[in-house]
Amino acid sequence: MSHPSSKSKPWQAIRTEAIESLLNELGVIDSARVDEIVHHYEEHVGPKTGAHVVARAWSDPAFKQRLLTDGLAACAELGIGGPETEMLHVLENTPTVHNVVVCTLCSCYPWPILGLPPAWYKSSAYRSRLVREPRKVLAEMGLELPEAVELRVWDSVAEIRYLVLPEQPPATQGMSEDALAALVTRDAMIGVAKVTALSLPFADSGE
């Protein structure tokens, strides 16, 4: 399988190193700070943050209401926030409406909630096609949506960010927030997948 977006050109690493060393010597940046940010994005930010928000919304109707009213304020209650998200609209998927998010102009994405976007979200294929033939794209990615379901594609080309609130699988009613969060995938929060109960860790335990 080819991943054009992940293929480096050989000169890119040395060029980056040259610029970083010059910026350090001039005192424009401090590489120790760059190290901290790398660590932050590699270890502390990611879709688990968003999954926690979704699980809370599923478990707490009042929180869900606040989340749908002002996404960022509700996330702040959970200590979540950061750069590249000044406003967050949360889009609720229902049996009759399915939401999915793209940025056709670059690759805008709610970094503090979902971490950095996957390569496919930044790919030319996703950015060009999702707005024109979303059902086909979603079907290729494994999500077949009946025509009766209204499909809303959100092109997030301004500074407002979007998070999809997936439908809670009926079989998961009453589960703990942590168990729910473990089921919520990044793809479901972008809107290219649904959350399923199939990956329940103890689904086959014979209870």
Partner 1 sequence: MNGIHDMGGLHGFGRVEPEIDEPVFHSEWESRVFCMTQVLDTTGIWNLDEHRHEIELMDAASYLTDGYYGRWLFAMERLLARKNIVRHEEVEARIAEYCADVRHPVAPSGAGRNWPLPEHMKIRWGAWRKEIEVTPKYQVGEAVRVRNIHPEGHTRVTAYTRGKVGTIAIVNAQAWVLPDTRAHHRGENLQPVYSVRFAAQDLWGPQAEANHFLHVDLSEDHLESVSGAD
* Contact with partner 1 (CB under 8 A) among 92, 155, 167, 177: 155
* Among the residue ranges 38-46, 49-57, 73-81, 169-177, the one whose residues contact partner 1 (CB under 8 A): 38-46
* 3 state DSSP class of 2: coil
Between 40 and 171, whose beta carbon lies closer to partner 1? 40
The separation between the first and the last C-alpha atoms of the chain, rounded to the nearest angstrom, is 41
106 is an active site residue: yes
* 3 state DSSP class of 146: coil
* Among the residue ranges 50-58, 155-163, 164-172, 174-182, the one whose residues contact partner 1 (CB under 8 A): 155-163
* Among the residue ranges 60-68, 130-138, 166-174, 176-184, the one whose residues contact partner 1 (CB under 8 A): 130-138
75 is an active site residue: no
2 is an active site residue: no
Burial of 46 (0-12, 13-18, 19+ CB in 10 A): middle
Query: For residue 25, what are the CA distances in angstroms to 17, 18, 21, 32, 77?
Result: 12, 11, 6, 13, 41
Indicate which residues carry an active-site annotation: 103, 106-108
